[in-house]
Amino acid sequence: MTSLHADEAFLDHYQFTHDPFAARVPGFKFFPAQRKPVLGQLHHLARYSQLVLVVTGPEGSGKTLLRQALVASTNKQAVHNVVVSAQGAADPATLMRHIAQGLNTQQTDRAALLAQVGQLALTGQEVYLLIDDAEELSEAALEALLVLAQGNADGRPHVFLFADSDVIPRLDALAGADEVFHVIELQPYAEDETREYLALRLEGAAQGIELLSDEQVELIHDRSGGWPGEINRVARDVLIDAMASRRGAAKGGGFSFSLPKKHLLALAVIGVGVAAALLMQGRSDSPEAPAPQAQLPLGANEQPQQQAGTPAQPQPEAEVGADGRPAIEFAGSNQPLPLPLVGQSQPVIRQPLAQAAGETDGEANVELPEPVASTPVTVPPTASQPAPTPAPTTPAPAPQPPQPVAQQPKPVEQPKPAAAPAPATRPTAAPAPATAGAAQANGWYATQTKSHYTLQVLGTSTESAARSFVSQNGAQYRYFKKMHQGKPLFVITYGSFASRDAAQAAVKTLPAKVQAGKPWPKTFASVTQEMAN
Final residue belonging to a domain, choices 185, 208, 239: 185
* Final residue of a structural domain among 164, 185, 206: 185
Q: Express each pLDDT in 107-118 by its tens digit.
A: 999 999 999 999
Q: How far apart are CA 384 and CA 158, in angstroms?
A: 113
- Does the residue 260 lie in any domain? no
Same domain, residue pair 202 and 73: no
Task: Give residue-wise pLDDT tens across range 427-440.
Answer: 333 333 444 455 55
- Per-residue pLDDT band at 261 (split at 50, 70, 90): low
Residue range 28-70, pLDDT digits in tens: 666 666 788 899 899 999 888 889 999 999 988 889 888 988 9
d(CA 398, CA 62): 114
Mean of all residue pLDDT scores within the chain: 73
Element (H, E) at 234: helix 228-255
The answer to which of 99-103, 201-205, 227-231, 280-284 has the lowest mean pLDDT is 280-284
Question: For the residues 88-93, what does the mean pLDDT come to?
Answer: 88
Q: Is the pLDDT of residue 413 over 70?
A: no
How many other CB atoms sit within 10 Å of the CB of residue 323? 9
Confidence category of residue 260, pLDDT binned at 50, 70, 90? low
pLDDT of residue 206: 86
Phi-psi region of 28 (alpha: psi -120 to 50; beta: other; left: phi over 0): beta
- Across 89-106, average pLDDT: 92
What is the domain range of residue 196?
A: 4-26+190-250
Give the residue from 205, 232, 250 where a domain finishes: 250
- In the beta sheet, which residues pair with residue 492? 458, 479
Least confident of 7-21, 281-295, 368-382, 467-481: 368-382
Stronger pLDDT, 413 or 452, i.e. the higher one? 452
The confidence band for 26, taking pLDDT boundaries of 50, 70 and 90, is: low
pLDDT digits (tens, 9 = 90+) for 466-509: 888 898 888 889 998 988 777 888 899 999 999 988 988 998 88
* Same domain membership, residue 202 and residue 173: no
Dist CA 163 CA 136 (whole Å): 8
Please report the pLDDT score of residue 12 as a whole number: 84
174 in a structural domain: yes
pLDDT at 293 over 50: no
Supply the pLDDT for residue 220.
Answer: 93
Residues 181 and 194 in one domain: no
Give 190 or 438, the one with higher predicted confidence: 190
Domain co-membership, 201 together with 173: no
DSSP-assigned letter for residue 382: H
Q: Are residues 71 and 10 in the same domain?
A: no
| More confident position, 409 or 367 | 409
In the predicted structure, residue 382 carries a pLDDT above the cut 50: no
Share of the chain above pLDDT 90, in %: 27
The reported pLDDT for the residue numbered 159 is 95
Q: Are residues 48 and 161 in the same domain?
A: yes
Kindly state the average pLDDT of the residues 64-92: 90
Query: Is 262 part of any domain?
Result: no
CATH number at residue 145: 3.40.50.300
At 406, is the pLDDT very low, low, confident or very high (cuts 50, 70, 90)? very low
User: Is the confidence at residue 81, as pLDDT, over 70?
Assistant: yes
- Does any domain span residue 341? no
Residue 344's pLDDT is: 41
The pLDDT, as a whole number, for residue 54 is 95
Residue 7 has pLDDT above 60, yes or no: yes
| Predicted pLDDT at 446 | 86
168, 200: one domain? no
pLDDT at 369 over 60: no
Do 127 and 234 reside in the same domain of the chain?
no
Asked if 135 and 8 sit in the same domain, the reply is no
pLDDT value at residue 493 = 94
Q: Residue 357: pLDDT above 60?
A: no
* CATH number for the domain that contains residue 475: 3.30.70.1070
Q: What is the pLDDT of residue 308?
A: 42
- When mean pLDDT is compared across 73-77, 161-165, 196-200, 318-322, the lowest value belongs to 318-322
Phi, psi of 4 (to 5 degrees): -65, -40
Residue (of 496, 494, 498) closest to 518 by Cα position: 494
Asked whether residue 50 falls in the same domain as residue 178, the answer is: yes
Q: Is residue 486 part of a domain?
A: yes
Do 8 and 132 lie in a common domain? no
| CB contact burial 368-407 (16+ within 10 A = b; e otherwise) | bbbbbbbbbbbebbeebeebeebbeebeeeeeebeebbee
Is residue 18 located within the same domain as residue 73? no
Domain for residue 381, yes or no? no
If one counts the domains in the chain, the total is 3
Q: What is the pLDDT of residue 368?
A: 31
How confident is the model at residue 88, as a pLDDT? 83
303 or 101, which is more confident:
101
Weakest-pLDDT range from 151-160, 264-273, 411-420, 461-470: 411-420
Q: Of the ranges 77-81, 353-357, 415-419, 463-467, which one carries the lowest mean pLDDT score?
A: 353-357
pLDDT for the residue numbered 474: 85
- Is residue 138 pLDDT above 50, yes or no? yes
Angle made by CA atoms 261, 265, 266, in degrees to the nearest 5: 115
Residue ranges with strand state E in 447-501:
453-460, 477-484, 487-497
Residues 6+ apart with CB under 8 A from 15: 206, 207, 456, 520
Beta-ladder partners of 522: 454
Across 38-52, 274-288, 506-520, least confident range? 274-288
> Is the confidence at residue 172, as pLDDT, over 50?
yes
Q: What is the largest CA-CA distance in the chain?
A: 146
Residues 6+ apart with CB under 8 A from 99: 82, 84, 108, 113, 129, 148
Percent of the chain with pLDDT over 70: 64
